[in-house]
Structure 1
Amino acid sequence: MAQHSQPQLTAAPITAPPSPRAGLHRAWVIAVVAGAAIVTAGAFTTVPGLLITPLHQEYAWDRGQIALAASVNMVLFGFTAPFAAALMERAGIRRVVVGALLLVTVGALLTSVMASPWQLVLYWGVLVGLGSGCLTMTFAALITGRWFARRRGLVTGALSASSHLGQLVFLPLLAWAVDRYDWQPPVVTLALVALVVCALVALLLRDHPADIGARPYGGGQFVPKPAPVQGAARRSVKVLSNAARTGTFWLLAGMFIICGASTNGIMWSNWVPAAHDHGMHATIAASLLSLIGVFSSLGAVLSGWLTDRVDPRRLLVVYFTVRALTLLALPHVLTASVQPPLIAFCVVYGLVDVATVPPVIALSQRAYGDDGPIVFGWANSAHQLGAGTSAFLGAEARDLFGTYNVVWPALSVVCLVAALMALTVRTQRDARPAA
């Protein structure tokens, strides 16, 4: 039986549990602020898809060179998450989030004055990737785990939606601005937005309900704040080592590799160029991607609600199967103008786009207990590894074959594989090590 050991935590001394306060629980304010940070990070992840064509035209850089920066960004976005979760438990959530937003601001500002492909990889790939990687669903899992005893699935779904809400809020405006003013002003504007959100986080975000003398939302008892966890990086690696001895982890990670490859990996970096190949204007293509983001947000919230009520494995089977069918149909509905079949694709694909996140978080928590957020962080790293690979290979396939039409059926097939994998996931917290 796999043992998931935890470091001994020393509770901060509390003289007496406070009485519940009437009115809006502070947990909802914390969730909104966390959502704002995730929205901002989500907006940064969509920008590379808008830059491929302008940078290719301005600097004559290969699409593969430009997509490499997006791939590095996505991989670091994922592999930062588990270390960021452990760092938040040591240094505090608010400090880490503020630092992350400052890092993406610096990376974006430096990108606006770059002149070589390696600078794009360093500034956008590395700096923005590291900063935005701290603001993933691992961060959301910590917020929901500390601040909510009830409605966790619903809040997880809402925070999952926040990432794609960044598309809804920023993407059409960014596409319009790139078309009208070139690509540098929108990048600088987004950096300034990150600074504003950074100030909001510093003012309103708190690490734990005990910081303000409150109970978790729906909790019957006051929960003392744990002492800072030492050895953040060491703990992340140890959790990975323990989880890697279980078959459950490899199933979750494998599904998320496919999930990343078939969603943000291919869409955020290659959707606009693929639509452009069919004669569609970049602003219209970005608006359609924003429409996907709208229904992704709705789908994530609905999935969170369903996760509280339905076996998460069954939900994943449905989500991956529907995604496979939509990707298979995409080459036949993607045209120069917006037609009803293309709108239907955006709606259906969007509904299952981020819907996989709440079930995977729930399975991670059920299988690994208190280590669940960090285990999910490592699974999310696999997600971004798949995303980064797909972003790069998708652009390379376009350069090699002159079309994206070979990409969509391949991704459809692997989504069906993920659906089969979901059927075999074990949900017991004492999942045994794989032989």
Structure 2
Amino acid sequence: MARFSHIVAVLPLVRPRSSGESGRVTATADRGRPSVGNVDQGPPSASPRRWPWFVAFAGFVALVGAAGFRAAPSVLIDPLHAEYGWSRGTISAAVSVNLVLYGLISPFAAALMERFGMRRVVACALLLVGVGSGLTVFMTSSWQLLLLWGVLVGTGTGAMALTLVATLTSRWFVRRRGLVSGLLTAGSAAGQLVFLPLVAMLATRYGWREASLAVALAALGVVPLVLAFLRDHPRDVGTTAYGAGPEDASDDAAPPQQQGGSAARAVRVLADVVRNRTFLLLAGGFAICGASTNGLIGTHFVPAAHDHGMPYTTAAGLLALVGIFDIIGTVASGWLTDRMDPRVLLGVYYTLRGGALVLLPQLFAPTTEPPMWAFVIFYGLDWVATVPPTVALCRQWFGHATGPIVFGWVFASHQLGAAVAAFAAGAARDQLGTYDVAWYGAGGLCVLATVMSLRIRRAPEREPSW
């Protein structure tokens, strides 16, 4: 751990420039003599025109590394209950704290990335996830679970979250933004795919402590890659955003110096948009999205399946399969977002999701039958397909500079919805002995999300706003 902290402290990072300094470095100006202070050459073999894809790859791997914890709660609820006697409601409360912070930190993280850069923020976030997950092996009481799972890991995952997707694509891509948004969002799904069977196997064969250590090591192992390849702006490596033309020059220039701190910037943006109809509709729909994915299926699918006699490893494998199809669905959604009205896409996604949730209680069984396979495949395709159109609507309505912070607040509502659902479903299971009311309630809420999405107005034409 000390070694990783030392790396973060001493590696040369891009120096923030004042408004009086040159906003960009072009390939035609002093081609042979780039200013050391203005251009970060990076790895010697990196071609400037390849940098957008290097940066996108680093962002993808960072999201994969941070996804390990999100795979852990669903398979660790029962082992923690068995060892400590904590109720599902108590354990779900820790998950809820994590989900709340995962969302609430997000808009402030977008402002921090704007001020200090993506690389610093993401590296520190991964360190928090690694430390929080690693220290859980020493906990002995439920308040420590709340502190480590809830506060520490929640802050780390929230400092990256999907605001990294919005920030990275806005800065580094003009063409293929929707597709790249889908690819990066799929990083979380890929992390679930990688970690969920591993965490379930380790928890079953060796114990939940070994599973927590695996999550910690994965997060820490990604830090060197982030420091090597993640860059803040195309101008830092003497290039332009992918697909940028002369008309996009303002997108490559340095953003204006913001007054005040990052927290103040995030709060000012919220104050500006809190009465905006589009923001409220996006936030309301995305809260339901979080409730029906991370909060409900992501946290309680494995325990619910086990209630019906399905082994933990089998249920975890099904949830991992959701992750496989999530990758396909999210990338396809990004491709569609570049070509279709994102409002219509959201309406379709929420409608189909609601129908699937209403059917789920009839599909649980000790063995995996064909209808459950169909549910897993469909729900995987739909899981975070909502993200690329939501990011696109935030950018269309609020601009390239403010859009990522607005999306951070929209994502905060997503995680608040997830937190409420995670806690409420656990409490319902403790009181009623079944999760059925949670599945039916979430299905009905998805219909409401459909209505909200279709009531969003078409965005006005905007000039690029840095």
Counterpart check, 1:242 vs 2:272: yes
How far did residue 194 of structure 1 move? Answer: 1.0
Deviation of 1:40 after TM superposition, in Å, equals 1.7
Q: Are the equivalent residues in 1 in contact too, given 2:68–2:219 (CA < 8 A)? A: no
1:353, distance to aligned residue in structure 2 (A):
1.0
In structure 2, C-alpha distance between the alignment counterparts of 1:15 and 1:306, rounded to whole Å: 33
Q: What is the distance in 1 between the residues matched to 2:253 and 2:287?
A: 37
- What is the rounded CA distance, in whole Å, between the counterparts of 2:21 and 2:313 in structure 1? 53
Task: Verify the 8 A CA contact 2:130 2:216 in the aligned structure 1.
Answer: yes
Output aligned runs, 1:340-359, within 5 Å.
340-359=370-389
Distance 1:92 1:396, change over 3 A: same
Q: Are positions 1:414 and 2:445 aligned together?
A: yes
The reply to whether residue 326 of structure 1 matches residue 356 of structure 2 is yes
Counterpart in the other structure of 2:27 = 18
The aligned runs of 1:93-172 (5 Å cut-off) are 93-172=118-197
Equivalent residue of 1:112, what SS?
helix
Letter paired with 1:419: T
**Residue 336 of structure 1 pairs with residue 401 of structure 2:** no
Q: Percent identity?
A: 50
**AA of the residue aligned to 1:416:** V
Query: Residues 11 and 225 of structure 1 are in contact (CA less than 8 Å); yes or no, is this contact kept in structure 2?
Result: no
Q: Which residue of 1 is the match for residue 76 of structure 2?
A: 51
Distance 1:206 1:271, change over 3 A: same
Confirm or deny: 8 A CA contact 2:25 2:238 kept in the other structure: no
Note closer, same or farther for the CA distance 1:46–1:12 as it changes in structure 2 (3 Å cut).
Answer: farther
**2:48 and 2:278 mapped to 1: Cα distance?**
41
Which residue of 1 is the match for residue 254 of structure 2?
Answer: 225
Q: Is the 8 A contact 1:107 1:127 kept in 2?
A: yes
Q: Distance in 1 between matches of 2:111 and 2:121?
A: 10
**Whole-angstrom distance in 2 between the partners of 1:322 and 1:12:** 51
Cα pair distance change 1:313/1:15, threshold 3 Å: closer
Which residue pairs with 2:94 in the alignment?
69
1:392 equivalent in alignment to 2:423: yes
* Structure 2 Cα separation of the partners of residues 121 and 34 of structure 1: 28
Per-residue deviation, 1:149: 1.2
| Matching residue's letter, 1:134 | A
Give the distance between the partners of 1:37 and 1:363, measured in 2 at CA. 25
Contact 1:155/1:304, CA 8 A, preserved across alignment:
yes
Match of 2:325 in 1: 295
Q: 1:31 aligns with which of 56, 72, 89?
A: 56
SS in 1 for 2:314: helix
- The RMSD of aligned alpha carbons is 1.9
- C-alpha distance in 2 between matches for 1:144 and 1:214: 15
Paired with 1:99 and 1:285, the residues of 2 have a C-alpha distance of 33
Partner Cα separation in structure 2 for residue 13 and residue 338 of structure 1: 61
Q: 1:305 to 1:72 in 2, by over 3 A?
A: same
Corresponding residue number in structure 1 for 2:309: 279
Q: Is the 1:11–1:226 contact (alpha carbons within 8 Å) kept by the matching residues of 2?
A: no
Asked whether the equivalents of residues 71 and 391 of structure 1 are also in contact (C-alpha less than 8 Å), the reply is yes
Shift in CA distance, 228/177, structure 1 to aligned 2, threshold 3 Å: farther
What amino acid is aligned across from residue 395 of structure 2 in structure 1? Q
Q: How far apart in 2 are the matches of 1:251 and 1:171? A: 33
In the alignment, which of 385, 389, 395 is matched to residue 365 of structure 1? 395
Aligned twin of 1:90: 115
Structure 1 residues 395 and 144, CA gap change in structure 2 (3 angstroms): same
Unaligned runs of 5+ in 2: 1-17, 32-45
State the distance in 1 between where 2:225 and 2:314 align.
Answer: 32
Residue 226 of structure 1 deviates from its aligned partner by 3.5
Task: Indicate which of 260, 263, 278 corresponds to 2:293.
Answer: 263
Partner residue, 1:317 = 347
**Which residue is equivalent to 1:424?**
455
Deviation at 1:224, TM superposition (A): 3.2
Letter in 1 for 2:156: G
- Answer yes or no: is the 8 Å Cα contact 2:26–2:235 preserved in 1: no
How big is the shift at 1:23?
Answer: 8.5
Separation in 2, partners of 1:324, 1:93: 36
Structure 1: give runs of 5+ residues left out of the alignment: 1-8
Q: Distance in 2 between matches of 1:15 and 1:422?
A: 38
- Partners of 1:261 and 1:287 in 2: how far apart? 22
1:383 corresponds, among 414, 430, 437, to 414
Which range moves more in the overlay, 422-431 or 131-140? Answer: 422-431
Q: Aligned partners of 1:105 and 1:227: how far apart in 2?
A: 34
Letter in 1 for 2:264: R
Q: Displacement, 1:405?
A: 1.4
Tell me what 2:8 maps to. none
1:427 CA displacement: 3.1
Shift of 1:428: 2.4
Deviation at 1:131, TM superposition (A): 0.3
Residue type at the aligned position of 2:437: V
Deviation at 1:300, TM superposition (A): 0.6
Distance verdict in 2 for CA 1:15–1:233, change over 3 Å: closer
Taking the aligned partners of 1:83 and 1:14, their CA distance within structure 2 comes to 24
Letter in 2 for 1:159: L
Question: Secondary structure of the equivalent of 1:149?
Answer: coil
User: 1: CA distance between counterparts of 2:243 and 2:20?
Assistant: 21
For 1:167 and 1:304, the matched residues in 2 are separated by: 19
Q: Deviations over 1:331-362 (max 9, x none)?
A: 11111101111010001111111011111111
Match of 1:68, as an amino acid? A
TM-aligned CA deviation for residue 371 of structure 1: 1.2
Retained in 2: the 8 A contact 1:239–1:371? yes
TM-score, normalised on structure 1?
0.94
Quote the Cα distance in structure 1 between the aligned partners of 2:144 and 2:223: 25
Once residues 394 and 15 of structure 1 are traced to their aligned partners in structure 2, the CA distance between those partners, rounded to angstroms, is 51
